[in-house]
Structure 1
Amino acid sequence: MTKPSPAANLRRAFPWLIAGLISLHACMAVTRVAASLWVLHQGHGEWAVGVLLSLFAVAPMLLAMWAGRQADRYGLHRPVGIAVLMALFGALVALAGQGLWTIGLSCFLAGGALSVAAVAMQREAGQMADEPSELKRVFGWMALGPAMSNALAPVAAGVLIDYVSFRAAFGLAVLLPVLAWVFITKLPRHTPKAQSAASRAKPAWDLLRQPALRYLLLMNVVLAAAWDAHSFVVPVIGHAKGLSASSIGFVLASFAVAAMAVRLAIIRWSKQLDEVKALRAAMLMAAATLAVYAWLPGTPGLMLGSALLGLALGSVQPMVMAMLHQVTPADRHGQALGLRMVATNGATVAMPVGFGLLAAASVSAAPLWLMAGLLLLAQWPAARLTRHQNGES
């Protein structure tokens, strides 16, 4: 009888990994929506929303490299345990008292917790593929976690805010990290293969010597910033149009549902997809939608625009993650994932503040137009990546 491969053994526990990711991501998503709407409800303006959204990315920038080393050395459970404690403390702070400082700290810790856990979880998911062709399928399933969280958490937060209170929404965020740890304890513990001395000695930045990784990270940064632009603008435009918190939650959820749909399609047709071509098509579709988003009428129009953006931007993560695992050494996947998180969150720190200032100085839709232009410019590194794949100089 053939002995199951280590990857096959890990795959049996895959649903628990996704459930843990959904719970931790939902904690962040509930905090993000509740914090954004609380700030606007208090009359602080778009700039404050931008600052709070930036805080979700400050901790990932500081912790991602460390999280990558922890994941390469210890595997899954230790980094995720630290993340659960961070998320729980941040949610308790916001529950205890709503103020700019307490909610700001909650945003900071929720973002940091998700980044530490995500690096370890993504590395673990990569171990579940027996061959490169399976990576898109694995990360397609993995990407469904945040998409499902984004579909449910904004609606839940909006309904709690409308019909109970902001405190109730922050109370929901307290329960989710505990649930995440319950799921993660279902996964088998295993010790990662020891890194070679050469790999341990090299800093993560050394990976940037690889041209394919540089081009891939550059595209990922622009696409992540486009995602952030949508997250920033929906509460602002929705508030300006007089939409309720529930309606804003449904607009955000339509993005997430579409992202789930496209990720299911990736799982189904993963072998037929070319990663770079898919990324280039996603950038064109997102640029076109962002250019006209502000003129879409009412809740139904914004839901349609968000769904189109969800189809485009939702396809990105499985493609990027599959390519990243192919262009980096196996014993440095954690470092590569940490480097990717630093790059994407570097944009996430700067962009929301810039979006807030730009919207305050001009019009609410200006961040969307900026990102549409940057997505068109990002076709250049995509073309370079295609040439590198084809062996051209």
Structure 2
Amino acid sequence: MAGVRMSAPLQALHQKLGPGAVGVLMALFAAGPVLLALPAGRMADRYGYHRPLYLAVGLSVSGGLIAALSSQYLAMCAAAMLTGAGTNFGLITIQRTAGRMAVDSTERMRVFSWLGLAPALANFLGPVTAGAVIDHVGFRAAFGVLMLMPLASLLFSRFVPRETPVQTVQAQRAGTSWDLLRSPALRHLLLVNWLHSASWDVHTFLLPILGHERGLSASAIGGILGVFAVSVASVRFVIPFIAHRLTEAQVVAGAMLSVAAIFAVYPFVHSAWLMAGCAGLLGLALGSVQPMVMSMLHHITPEHRHGEAIAFRSMALNMSSTLMPLLFGLAGTAIGAATLFWVMGAAVGAGSVPARRLAPTSGH
């Protein structure tokens, strides 16, 4: 998906389509996940890992095939919907299965930290591969190569133990998916996770604007974002080795206070090196949150509804990633980039209060 998400807009621009068409295309990568998240979660709860993974691969490969066969804009839109939906379908299934393989909260933190390295690798491998193939062969060949990547997961799926569904259908009939939101712990966790995601989005959105205001070159701004990405991957690599010394709620609350402090300082920093330092610290803070959130999510929800809970998280994050840049654009124009950093920092700092209340009290 990362490769298609880079290639499809480039092809649209190559065809002289405007920014509006590109924006719609990018939004469709998140629209599919929003629509199919709950069905994906319920299917994973009912059938385990393998059947929903096959469907995820089918959706992703179909998107790549459509893009390889046709360069029409509507075909690109369909490819965006299918690859986005397929990737999210698979991600929900993988996250649910990974959490169930762990025996306690410490092991869950380790599992989700290792798992969190995969998107960083994917965001490197997909665009780099696509870019190389586009330059040497063309767009259609790139989509064809990208289409083969999801098929590799079928090979690795053979090594994942098959689950035997037990009493899941009867359990799910006891209520609707939305009943899960009656849990205060889940609502607080989703709020905290949304604030974390919005902080990530606001940094990605505002850094180029702030860098441009400071007179930084494009390569300097790209380097700062690179430092941020390396920091995210680094903290997720370290967590498995120190997980036995950590508690989820303390890490999340501490990370949110750190983000608030960094956002308070960021607008006063003018040199590229100092901005890179802020980005590195921010990456460490934000990168540490996702494994903790996923671990707590598995702890506070019933075992037979883990997939649905992950689906709610996925819906919230994808809707946020679709809508928040639009709001950031309007707010940034009205109040400026620096003020938007401070507003977001204040919101994240306030979010550390419900984060401290997320300490597990009972397990499922």
Percent identity of the aligned residues?
43
Supply the AA of the counterpart residue of 1:44: G
Deviation at 1:220, TM superposition (A): 0.6
Q: Is the 8 A contact 1:34 1:157 kept in 2?
A: yes
**What SS is found at the alignment partner of 2:164?**
coil
Q: Is the 8 A contact 2:249 2:357 kept in 1?
A: no
- 2:155 corresponds, among 182, 198, 211, to 182
Deviation at 1:134, TM superposition (A): 1.7
Q: What residue in structure 2 maps to residue 333 of structure 1?
A: 306
Deviation at 1:270, TM superposition (A): 0.7
Unaligned ranges ≥5, structure 2: none
Distance 1:255 1:200, change over 3 A: farther
Distance 1:324 1:169, change over 3 A: same
Q: Is the 8 A contact 1:48 1:356 kept in 2?
A: no
Q: What residue in structure 2 maps to residue 44 of structure 1?
A: 18
Paired residues in the alignment total 358
Q: Is the 8 A contact 1:147 1:256 kept in 2?
A: yes
Supply the AA of the counterpart residue of 1:275: E
Following the alignment from structure 1 to structure 2, what is the Cα–Cα distance between the partners of residues 198 and 276? Answer: 29
Deviation at 1:384, TM superposition (A): 4.3
Following the alignment from structure 1 to structure 2, what is the Cα–Cα distance between the partners of residues 163 and 286? Answer: 42
Supply the AA of the counterpart residue of 1:77: H
1:214 aligns with 2:187: yes
Q: What residue in structure 2 maps to residue 319 of structure 1?
A: 292
Distance 1:235 1:155, change over 3 A: farther
Q: What residue in structure 1 maps to residue 218 of structure 2?
A: 243
CA deviations over 1:176-201 (Å, ceiling 9, x no partner):
11222222233233323232734432
1:136 aligns with 2:109: yes
Deviates most, 249-258 or 174-183: 249-258
1:76 aligns with 2:49: yes
Distance 1:164 1:313, change over 3 A: farther
Following the alignment from structure 1 to structure 2, what is the Cα–Cα distance between the partners of residues 312 and 274? Answer: 15
Following the alignment from structure 2 to structure 1, what is the Cα–Cα distance between the partners of residues 335 and 12? Answer: 20
Unaligned ranges ≥5, structure 1: 1-27
Following the alignment from structure 1 to structure 2, what is the Cα–Cα distance between the partners of residues 93 and 239? Answer: 38
**What SS is found at the alignment partner of 2:165?**
coil
Q: Is the 8 A contact 1:30 1:157 kept in 2?
A: yes
Q: Is the 8 A contact 1:151 1:257 kept in 2?
A: no
Q: What residue in structure 2 maps to residue 382 of structure 1?
A: 355
**TM-score under structure 2 length normalisation:** 0.81
Q: What residue in structure 2 maps to residue 353 of structure 1?
A: 326
- 1:261 corresponds, among 234, 239, 243, to 234
Following the alignment from structure 2 to structure 1, what is the Cα–Cα distance between the partners of residues 23 and 93? Answer: 28
Supply the AA of the counterpart residue of 2:324: M
CA RMSD of aligned residues (A): 3.7
Equivalent residues in 2 for 1:356-371 (5 A)? 356-357=329-330, 371=344
Supply the AA of the counterpart residue of 1:281: G
Following the alignment from structure 2 to structure 1, what is the Cα–Cα distance between the partners of residues 72 and 25? Answer: 12
Equivalent residues in 2 for 1:105-116 (5 A)? 105-116=78-89
Deviates most, 125-134 or 247-256: 247-256
Q: What residue in structure 2 maps to residue 55 of structure 1?
A: 28
- 1:117 corresponds, among 69, 90, 101, to 90
Following the alignment from structure 1 to structure 2, what is the Cα–Cα distance between the partners of residues 37 and 225? Answer: 26
Supply the AA of the counterpart residue of 2:179: D
Deviates most, 269-278 or 175-184: 175-184
Q: What residue in structure 2 maps to residue 90 of structure 1?
A: 63
**What SS is found at the alignment partner of 1:201?**
coil
Following the alignment from structure 1 to structure 2, what is the Cα–Cα distance between the partners of residues 249 and 158? Answer: 17
Q: Is the 8 A contact 1:252 1:306 kept in 2?
A: yes
Supply the AA of the counterpart residue of 2:60: A
Deviation at 1:75, TM superposition (A): 0.6
Q: Is the 8 A contact 2:259 2:349 kept in 1?
A: no
Following the alignment from structure 1 to structure 2, what is the Cα–Cα distance between the partners of residues 175 and 253? Answer: 27
Q: Is the 8 A contact 1:150 1:256 kept in 2?
A: no
Distance 1:209 1:315, change over 3 A: same
